[in-house]
């Protein structure tokens, strides 16, 4: 069986890339974006946007992918803007259905904006035990949505 985009994203994450980078990079080449550019663009979104515990980086990376596919490039192209928002909402609804939240803090159970809780999350292995599912889910959802 051929690997899925969810598998690709999970492998990138297991290889050391952040959640946002793994999801974004798994799809980037499909839209003519080289790996280095995708990695740089999505780098600050991991850990709930720069370790602030906000939106899960896998979600942020996925929204970047949706923008790559449907995003508006001309000011007057409101149809593309609306299509992008529609797909973003579909993605968010499915991710939330699978995981109950979009918040990195709620998903992990640690407030990454607090250095002590970030250290506790690392010590507990939360990024290795919980995040792979979120990354894989994001890739799987995107694959069906795109």
Given phi > 0 = left and psi -120 to 50 = alpha, else beta, which region is 3?
beta
Bridge partner residues of 103 (DSSP): 55
**What would the pLDDT profile of 64-93 be if each residue is shown by its tens digit?**
999 999 999 999 999 999 999 999 999 999
pLDDT of residue 2: 78
What mean pLDDT is reported for the chain? 97
Helix (H) or strand (E) holding 92: helix 78-99
Band (3; pLDDT cuts 50, 70, 90)? confident
Q: What is the mean pLDDT of residues 125-146?
A: 97
Q: What is the mean pLDDT of residues 36-61?
A: 97
Is the confidence at residue 111, as pLDDT, over 90?
yes
Helix (H) or strand (E) holding 45: none
């Amino acid at each position: 069986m051929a690997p899925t985009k969810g598998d690709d994203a999970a492998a990138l994450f297991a290889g050391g890339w952040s959640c946002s980078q793994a999801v974004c990079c798994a799809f980037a080449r499909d839209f003519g974006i080289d790996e280095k550019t995708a990695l740089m663009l999505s780098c600050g979104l991991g850990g709930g946007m720069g370790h602030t515990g906000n939106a899960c980086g896998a979600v942020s990376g996925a929204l970047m992918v949706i923008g790559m596919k449907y995003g508006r490039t001309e000011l007057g192209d409101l149809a593309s803007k609306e299509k992008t928002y529609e797909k973003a909402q579909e993605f968010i609804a499915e991710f939330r259905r699978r995981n109950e939240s979009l918040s990195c803090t709620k998903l992990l159970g640690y407030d990454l904006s607090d250095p002590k809780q970030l250290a506790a999350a690392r010590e507990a292995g939360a990024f290795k035990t919980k995040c792979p599912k979120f990354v894989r889910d994001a890739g799987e959802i995107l694959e069906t949505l795109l």
